[in-house]
Structure 1
Amino acid sequence: MRFGVSYSTAGNGMNPDRLLRFAQHAEACGFESFYVPEHLVLYPGAQVYGNELPADLEFADPLDLLTFVAAATHRIVLGTAVLLLPYRHPIVLAKRLATIDALSRGRMRLLTIGLGSLPGEAEAMGVDFATRGRRADESIDALRQLWGGDAEFNGVVVRSYPKPFNGDVLPIHVAGSSAPAARRAGKRGDGYFPGGALTPTDRAAQWELVRSTAAANGRDPDALEYTRWGSINAGPSQVEVLAAEGVTRLVVNAFGDTLDEQLDQLSAFASRHKLAT
């Protein structure tokens, strides 16, 4: 099992000193990865899982934030949970991700993409909410073509540089709690990262759908990573249960009121699970 940590810029999380202390402490504790979320815009009445998001909730650009973190860390792997793929142009995105990966020496390896669940956000971006699944599929294919060699856009064959570190094609993980998301992960993804609003029975069914879709498309189900959200208070026995379900990575949030409380939570989790050993 690998362990990641998620960072929120809400509140005073955009303070650069706070951000770097958190990221560097997570790395020193032995966490494998550092995740950040994305919303491009919010609006009054926007809801996720039935909970309204304040329209002034602060979300940094995840790629700019991860670039900042990469420059101040050495080992921790960089991730998004999630990047809203239908709202980004694949040519621009491919270059930005490859640049971060090259400059961090191969640490931009946990790109997790989602479709977005806020119709108003799609409308503000000029995207038809009903077509965002198709747009995401096309973008996944386009990103891999741009990283791997030639790609064709509007009848023009193009190449994009820089390439990711060591000429790799970056992994793409798929987020979402729906059946289409699970099928997308099995058909096109390198891993699956479902959301939190699922029952244990639903989770098992979704993971089986990921694996069966992969097999039906000639892919190796055992090669797919399975990432889940978890509690910062989780103990070894809870992790063992998740591992038995096929989970390969657990991502936790530190929820203390102050930065020191959050850092103490990271330290306690790392000690319980012997991350630094």
Structure 2
Amino acid sequence: MKFGTSYNTAHFGPDPEHLVAFARQAEACGFESLCVPEHVVLYRGARIGPFELPPSLPYLDPLDCLAFVAGATRRILLGTAVLLIPYHHPVILAKRLATVDVLSGGRMRLLTVGIGALAGEARAAGVDFATRGRRADEAIDVLRLLWAGGEDGVGHQGEFHAFDGLCSYPKPLGGAGLPVHVGGSSRAAARRAGLRGDGYFPGGRLDARERAGQWELARATAAGAGRDPGALEYTRWGAVDLTEDDVEALAAQGVTRIVVSPGAAGPEERLDELAAFAARFGLSS
């Protein structure tokens, strides 16, 4: 089992010293990865399910945040959970992601993308909310096309993007592009993971039966598309007080990575929670 952690500036605040201390503690404790979320903009009345989001929540730009973290760490993998891919132009996004990967020494390896749940956020980004799923599919394809393309350039004619003869350098380290995990809480997200994803990272507000059904759907969709369902990674959120029995139960469900986030309000207490979790599961740097 792999163990990651997350840092949500909307909850913990955008203080750069606290962010760096958290990332360094996670790395020192042996966590595999650190991920951050995204909201481009908020507004009064914005809701995700039953939860209203205060408009003043300080979400940092995730890729700028990860670049900052990369400069303060050496080993920990960098990720998003989730990056709202329909609101990014994929040609620009391909360059930004490759830049973070190159400058971090090949650590931008847990990119998880989602389609967003706030109609007002889509409008602010100039995106028709109803098209965001199709935009996500096309954007993933464009990212991979640009990363794989050589000096002769690549072309694409799609519903939302069209170009010809483009070259995007530098490439992510290793030359194979970046893994793209799919996040979400819907069967459409599970199918997207099976068709295009390197893994599935479902949301936290699903009951056990629906969660299991979505994972099986992702695997079945991969198999139906001629892809290896066994190659899909399965990431889940977990509480920082997980027990060994909890982890064994998740592993039995096919989970390959658990991402935990401390619940403490204070920065020092959050560092203590990371250390306690790492000691409980024998993580090492």
TM-score for the superposition, normalised by structure 2: 0.95
* Aligned residues: CA RMSD: 1.0
Deviation of 1:137 (Å): 0.4
Contact 1:82 1:175 (8 Å CA) reproduced: yes
Separation in structure 1 between the aligned mates of residue 265 and residue 63 of structure 2, nearest angstrom: 26
Contact 1:40 1:121 (8 Å CA) reproduced: yes
The aligned counterpart of 1:97 is 97
- The reply on whether 1:201 has 2:231 as its aligned counterpart is no
Report SS of the residue matched to 2:3: strand
The aligned counterpart of 1:29 is 29
The aligned counterpart of 1:152 is 155
Any gaps of 5 or more consecutive residues in structure 2? Answer: 157-161
Q: What percent of counterpart residues are identical? A: 62
1:240 to 232, 248, 254: 248
Contact 1:113 1:173 (8 Å CA) reproduced: yes
Matches for 1:38-57 after TM superposition, within 5 Å: 38-57=38-57
Q: Output one character per residue of 1:71-101: Cα deviation in whole Å (capped at 9) or x when no partner.
A: 1101100000000000000011000100111
Contact 1:179 1:206 (8 Å CA) reproduced: yes
Separation in structure 2 between the aligned mates of residue 18 and residue 180 of structure 1, nearest angstrom: 37
The aligned counterpart of 1:161 is 169
The aligned counterpart of 1:188 is 196
Any gaps of 5 or more consecutive residues in structure 1? Answer: none
Change (3 A) 1:247 1:126: same
Report SS of the residue matched to 1:57: coil
Deviation of 1:121 (Å): 0.3
Deviation of 1:156 (Å): 2.1
The aligned counterpart of 1:4 is 4
Report SS of the residue matched to 2:98: helix
Amino acid at match of 1:144: R
Contact 1:77 1:107 (8 Å CA) reproduced: yes
Separation in structure 2 between the aligned mates of residue 52 and residue 19 of structure 1, nearest angstrom: 25
The aligned counterpart of 2:159 is none
Separation in structure 1 between the aligned mates of residue 116 and residue 278 of structure 2, nearest angstrom: 32
The aligned counterpart of 1:178 is 186
Separation in structure 2 between the aligned mates of residue 139 and residue 162 of structure 1, nearest angstrom: 19
Deviation of 1:18 (Å): 0.8
TM-score for the superposition, normalised by structure 1: 0.98
Report SS of the residue matched to 2:38: coil
Deviation of 1:167 (Å): 1.5
Contact 1:49 1:197 (8 Å CA) reproduced: no
Deviation of 1:11 (Å): 5.4
The aligned counterpart of 1:276 is 284
Amino acid at match of 1:193: F
Separation in structure 1 between the aligned mates of residue 228 and residue 201 of structure 2, nearest angstrom: 17
Report SS of the residue matched to 1:270: helix
Amino acid at match of 1:105: G
Contact 1:142 1:151 (8 Å CA) reproduced: no
Separation in structure 2 between the aligned mates of residue 33 and residue 251 of structure 1, nearest angstrom: 8
- The reply on whether 1:253 has 2:261 as its aligned counterpart is yes
Separation in structure 2 between the aligned mates of residue 90 and residue 165 of structure 1, nearest angstrom: 19
Contact 2:12 2:265 (8 Å CA) reproduced: no
Separation in structure 1 between the aligned mates of residue 214 and residue 87 of structure 2, nearest angstrom: 25
